[in-house]
């Protein structure tokens, strides 16, 4: 039997939205441009594809809706009857049947029009056939608008229904309105059901879960039931009747003996006898509630007799008569008293109900046909009495330590826990738990021995010198003596009495310069990570000027005038004519010599070698080792060959041989917008 998850059903769109979704998908999923010059066969295929694509979309969407909604014949009878109560099974099946019919009609329409499109003789006729096919499909879906709206309402209501498992362990609470079913539900589970002092606060089934004997139990709170014929009961009451009829659960029939719910005990007993056929083959408990307001002992004889009659009937019908065979001792397990206000007896009711349901389920499995297969796989070993040993002659052996502990506990001795020790010794954060006192060692005196520290397989204590403290003190003393000696020598070095006035001035200047250099070095060392790198052209910002160089070198007794003049001459604009001193060198300038002495190197006039006039190192420098060039002449020859190879590319406006760019043949800025003058042509 398939199990449906009612919360995963997809949204059912309305008729108009459904049409927009499918037609939009057709527009995006098929070609949209057709030309009159195409062959007629190609035009037919173009429009046949659109019709087929639309038909497939309708089929997929409708099939998904029909598959997601549960089928009444395939689901559990509880859910089938619940669907009938809430949504009218006939209306529900009719809506799904109409969608199924619409799906078949759309498939037939697509098949007919594809057959007609095969004989289309023009673009216009094929287009009109496609238009007619899509129009008939949309007309069919427009007629399904009410069915789609109804199914969407059903889906929304189904998604809010509780997830009830019909086959799991279940406790079912039933009775008149306001007898305390929802209050008991809140006490037994973590559910939060609304509780109000008026009738029919609970209008649908509510599910909660609780744990008992390491098992998960399902507790269902049902709406109140009134004592009237079945055909007069409304939808709220029929939900309770459906749950009682189809769920294999332990039924807890709640009775308000205080009559604060507005119904007398006689009316509640009449309701029990009216719906008792629904309790057949189920464990039934009569739970008397609100004993905080009225005790069982305070009941009148007539009311007490009514309660006893309910217990007798419950014993007869509960678990197929098993409770009746148990005798009078079963009254305690059938009639229970509690109060949901002060929680008196609530847990006892839960325990009894769960135990009875467990035993009932075991009996049902044993009575089933599959129990033989299970018993054949189980072997229970039974112990046999040994020869010469009388039963009971071997008492159990209790260790002495356990016997002493029992005696101390019986004498009133209370063992202190770690929490008690913590509170006695300063509290949390001050007390440190002693973990060694629980060590199990051969000699208890070893518990607090210092544990050796092992590193690389060796005990560190083996390498510790016992005289380490004395040696450390001796080293500290020697260090103090050396420090004092160093301070004395520094004082002697600082003695400037043997220097002349000029030497002392130079010494002070040297020390000042040293302090400046040390400070700059420390500043760079500490802040180089946060300091941006300045380009060479901003070197003047750091004081690296010709005047600064003259001052610093002059202070050292070096004449820097010629260097300054050469720098200034090279910084000026280059003249067209060159002097002989520049070409051949003089005492201020460098000489550019070839391999044979004073001859200057021959100039290479090419597009790239023209930069030699600006920087001779570009063309006259020796080739880089490993570049494959023998000398400067071979390098310049390569430059010429590269220039000649690039000329053809330059004429074609190419960057190089790998340039495959195709320029725009009609630049948009030249061929868009309105024409100049009074023209009316607009190319946008």
Note the pLDDT tens digit of each residue in 297-336: 888 888 888 888 888 888 888 755 444 444 444 555 788 8
Judge contact between 271 and 312, C-beta under 8 A.
no
DSSP 326-352: T-GGGHHHHEEE-BTTTTBTHHHHHHH
Residues 6+ apart with CB under 8 A from 574: 613, 614
Which region among 37-51, 394-408, 557-571 has the lowest average model confidence (pLDDT)? 557-571
Question: What is the reported pLDDT for 325?
Answer: 44
Q: Is 181 exposed, middle or buried (0-12, 13-18, 19+ CB in 10 A)?
A: buried
In the predicted structure, residue 541 carries a pLDDT above the cut 70: no
Segment 197-221 mean pLDDT? 88
Residues 6+ apart with CB under 8 A from 141: 15, 18, 19, 58, 102, 106
| Unique residue bearing structure tokens 């300045």 | 534
Segment 401-428 mean pLDDT? 89
Judge contact between 279 and 314, C-beta under 8 A.
yes
How far, in Å, are 175, 280, 306, 330 from residue 267 at the CA level? 11, 21, 10, 25
Which region among 21-30, 286-295, 520-529, 531-540 has the lowest average model confidence (pLDDT)? 531-540
Judge contact between 248 and 192, C-beta under 8 A.
no
Judge contact between 44 and 120, C-beta under 8 A.
yes
Name the helix (H) or strand (E) containing 172: strand 170-175
* More confident: 318 or 176: 176
**Interatomic CA distance for residues 133 and 136, integer angstroms:** 5
DSSP 650-675: HHTT-SSTT------SS-TTTSSSBP
Note the pLDDT tens digit of each residue in 59-87: 999 999 999 998 888 888 888 888 888 88
| Unique residue bearing structure tokens 């301070």 | 487
Name the helix (H) or strand (E) containing 288: strand 284-289
Judge contact between 614 and 583, C-beta under 8 A.
no
Q: Which two tokens stand for residue 2?
A: 């398939």
In the predicted structure, residue 424 carries a pLDDT above the cut 80: yes
Question: What is the 3-class SS of 243-254, one letter each residue?
Answer: HHHHCCCEEEEE
Question: What is the 3-class SS of 393-421, one letter each residue?
Answer: CCCCCCCHHHHHHHHHHHCCCCCCCHHHH
Per-residue confidence at 477, pLDDT binned at 50, 70, 90?
A: very high
Given its phi and psi angles, is residue 645 left (phi above 0), alpha (psi -120 to 50 degrees) or beta?
alpha
Q: Which two tokens stand for residue 305?
A: 């007799």
* More confident: 396 or 96: 96
The pairing of beta strand 206-212 with beta strand 250-256: unpaired
Per-residue confidence at 633, pLDDT binned at 50, 70, 90?
A: confident
Question: What is the reported pLDDT for 540?
Answer: 55
Q: What is the largest CA-CA distance in the chain?
A: 145
Q: What residues are paired with 286 via a beta bridge?
A: 253, 335
Which region among 20-29, 135-144, 473-482, 534-543 has the lowest average model confidence (pLDDT)? 534-543
Of the segments 370-384, 418-432, 613-627, which one has the largest average pLDDT value? 418-432
**3-state percent breakdown (helix, strand, coil) of the chain, nearest 5:** 55, 5, 40
Question: What is the reported pLDDT for 139?
Answer: 95
In the predicted structure, residue 106 carries a pLDDT above the cut 90: yes
In the predicted structure, residue 586 carries a pLDDT above the cut 60: no
Note the pLDDT tens digit of each residue in 342-385: 888 889 999 999 999 998 888 888 777 777 777 777 788 887 77
Segment 630-658 mean pLDDT? 83
* More confident: 555 or 69: 69
Segment 454-473 mean pLDDT? 86
**Interatomic CA distance for residues 529 and 546, integer angstroms:** 29
Torsion angle of the four alpha carbons 140, 146, 149, 151, in this order, in degrees rounded to the nearest 10: -90
| Unique residue bearing structure tokens 């380009």 | 535
**Interatomic CA distance for residues 627 and 624, integer angstroms:** 6
Judge contact between 674 and 681, C-beta under 8 A.
yes
Question: What is the reported pLDDT for 585?
Answer: 44
In the predicted structure, residue 508 carries a pLDDT above the cut 70: yes
The pair phi, psi for residue 171, each rounded to 5°, is -110, 125
Question: What is the reported pLDDT for 260?
Answer: 86
Judge contact between 328 and 379, C-beta under 8 A.
no
**Interatomic CA distance for residues 425 and 33, integer angstroms:** 90
Instruction: In the chain, count H helices and then E strands.
Output: 22, 8
How far, in Å, are 227, 493, 529 from residue 362 at the CA level? 34, 106, 79
Question: What is the reported pLDDT for 141?
Answer: 94
Note the pLDDT tens digit of each residue in 185-208: 998 888 888 888 777 888 888 999
Of the segments 19-28, 425-434, 455-464, which one has the largest average pLDDT value? 19-28
What count of Cα atoms within 13 Å lies in the side-chain half-sphere of residue 318? Answer: 30
Question: What is the reported pLDDT for 594?
Answer: 40
The pair phi, psi for residue 175, each rounded to 5°, is 150, -170
Which region among 209-223, 387-401, 432-446 has the lowest average model confidence (pLDDT)? 387-401
Given its phi and psi angles, is residue 388 left (phi above 0), alpha (psi -120 to 50 degrees) or beta?
left
Within 10 Å of residue 338's Cβ, how many Cβ atoms?
24
**Interatomic CA distance for residues 540 and 535, integer angstroms:** 10
Within 10 Å of residue 23's Cβ, how many Cβ atoms?
15
Q: Is 100 exposed, middle or buried (0-12, 13-18, 19+ CB in 10 A)?
A: middle
* More confident: 526 or 580: 526
Q: How far is CA 515 from the centre of its chain?
A: 61
Question: What is the reported pLDDT for 143?
Answer: 94
Please, what is the Cα angle at 577 between 573 and 582, to 5 degrees? 80
Question: What is the 3-class SS of 200-214, one letter each residue?
Answer: CCCCCCEEEEEEECC
Question: What is the reported pLDDT for 26?
Answer: 93
Short-list 105, 76, 102, 100, CA closest to 4: 76
In the predicted structure, residue 530 carries a pLDDT above the cut 80: no
Note the pLDDT tens digit of each residue in 146-161: 999 999 999 998 888 8
297: which DSSP letter? G
Per-residue confidence at 573, pLDDT binned at 50, 70, 90?
A: low
Question: What is the reported pLDDT for 109?
Answer: 95
Question: What is the reported pLDDT for 681?
Answer: 60
pTM > 0.85: no
In the predicted structure, residue 614 carries a pLDDT above the cut 60: no
What's the whole-number average pLDDT of the chain? 82
Q: Which two tokens stand for residue 383?
A: 């112990």
For 559-572, b/e burial (b = at least 16 CB within 10 A) is ebeeeeeeeeeeee
Q: What residues are paired with 46 via a beta bridge?
A: none
Q: Which two tokens stand for residue 89?
A: 């099974």
Torsion angle of the four alpha carbons 648, 652, 656, 660, in this order, in degrees rounded to the nearest 10: -140
């Amino acid at each position: 039997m398939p199990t449906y998850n009612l919360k995963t059903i997809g949204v059912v769109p309305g008729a108009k939205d459904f049409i927009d979704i499918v037609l939009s998908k057709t527009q995006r999923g098929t070609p949209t441009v057709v030309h009159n010059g195409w062959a007629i066969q190609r035009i037919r295929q173009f429009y046949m594809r659109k019709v087929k694509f639309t038909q497939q979309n309708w089929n997929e969407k409708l099939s998904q809706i029909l598959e997601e909604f549960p089928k009444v014949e395939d689901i559990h009878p509880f859910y089938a009857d619940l669907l009938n109560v809430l949504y009218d099974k006939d209306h529900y099946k009719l809506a799904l049947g109409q969608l199924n019919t619409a799906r078949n009609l759309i498939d037939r329409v697509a098949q007919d029009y594809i057959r007609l499109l095969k004989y289309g003789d023009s673009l216009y006729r094929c287009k009109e056939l496609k238009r007619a096919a899509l129009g008939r499909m949309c007309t069919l879906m427009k007629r399904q608008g009410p069915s789609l709206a109804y199914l969407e309402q059903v889906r929304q209501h189904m998604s809010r229904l509780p997830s009830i498992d019909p086959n799991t362990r279940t406790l079912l609470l039933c009775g008149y309105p306001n007898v305390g079913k929802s209050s008991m539900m809140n006490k037994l589970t973590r559910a939060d059901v609304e509780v109000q002092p008026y009738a029919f606060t609970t209008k649908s089934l509510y599910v909660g879960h609780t744990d008992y004997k390491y098992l998960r139990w399902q507790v269902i709170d049902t709406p109140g039931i009134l004592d009237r014929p079945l055909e007069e009961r409304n939808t709220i009451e029929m939900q309770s009747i459906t749950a009682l009829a189809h769920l294999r659960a332990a039924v807890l029939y709640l009775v308000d003996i205080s009559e604060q719910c507005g119904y007398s005990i006689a009316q509640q007993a009449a309701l029990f006898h009216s719906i008792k056929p629904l309790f057949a083959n189920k464990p039934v408990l009569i739970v008397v509630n609100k004993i905080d307001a009225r005790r069982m002992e305070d009941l009148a004889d007539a009311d007490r007799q009514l309660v006893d009659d309910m217990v007798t009937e419950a014993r007869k019908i509960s678990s197929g008569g098993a409770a009746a065979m148990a005798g009078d001792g079963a009254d305690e397990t059938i009639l229970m008293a509690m109060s949901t206000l002060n929680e008196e007896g609530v847990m006892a009711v839960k325990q009894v109900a769960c135990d009875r349901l467990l035993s009932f389920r075991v009996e049902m499995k044993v009575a089933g046909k599959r129990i033989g297969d299970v018993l054949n796989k189980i072997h229970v070993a039974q112990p046999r009495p040994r020869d010469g040993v009388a039963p009971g002659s071997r008492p159990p052996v209790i260790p002495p330590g356990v016997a002493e502990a029992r005696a101390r506990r019986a004498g009133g001795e209370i063992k202190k826990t770690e929490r008690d020790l913590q509170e006695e010794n300063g509290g949390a954060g001050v007390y440190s738990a002693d973990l060694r006192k629980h060590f199990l060692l051969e000699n208890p005196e070893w518990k607090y021995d210092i544990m050796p520290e092992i590193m690389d397989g060796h005990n560190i204590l083996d390498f510790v010198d016992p005289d380490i403290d004395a040696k450390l003190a001796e080293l500290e003393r020697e260090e103090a003596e050396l420090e004092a000696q160093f301070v004395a020598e520094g004082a002697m070095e600082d003695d400037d009495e043997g220097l002349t006035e000029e030497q002392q001035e130079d010494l002070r200047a040297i020390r000042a310069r040293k302090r400046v250099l040390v400070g700059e070095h420390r500043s760079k060392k500490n802040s180089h990570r946060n300091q941006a790198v300045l380009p060479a052209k901003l070197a003047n910002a750091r004081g690296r000027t010709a005047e600064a160089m003259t001052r610093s070198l002059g202070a050292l007794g070096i004449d820097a005038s010629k260097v300054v003049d050469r720098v200034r001459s090279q910084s000026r604009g280059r003249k067209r004519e060159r002097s002989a001193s520049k070409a051949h060198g003089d005492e201020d300038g460098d000489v550019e010599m070839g391999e044979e002495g004073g001859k200057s190197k021959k100039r290479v006039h090419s597009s790239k070698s023209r930069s030699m006039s600006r920087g001779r190192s570009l063309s006259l420098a020796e080739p880089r080792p490993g570049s494959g060039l023998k000398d400067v002449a071979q390098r310049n020859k390569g430059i010429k060959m590269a220039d000649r190879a690039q000329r053809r590319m330059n004429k074609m406006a190419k960057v190089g041989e790998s340039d495959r760019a195709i320029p725009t043949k009609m630049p948009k800025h030249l061929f868009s917008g309105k024409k100049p003058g009074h023209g009316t042509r607009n190319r946008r």
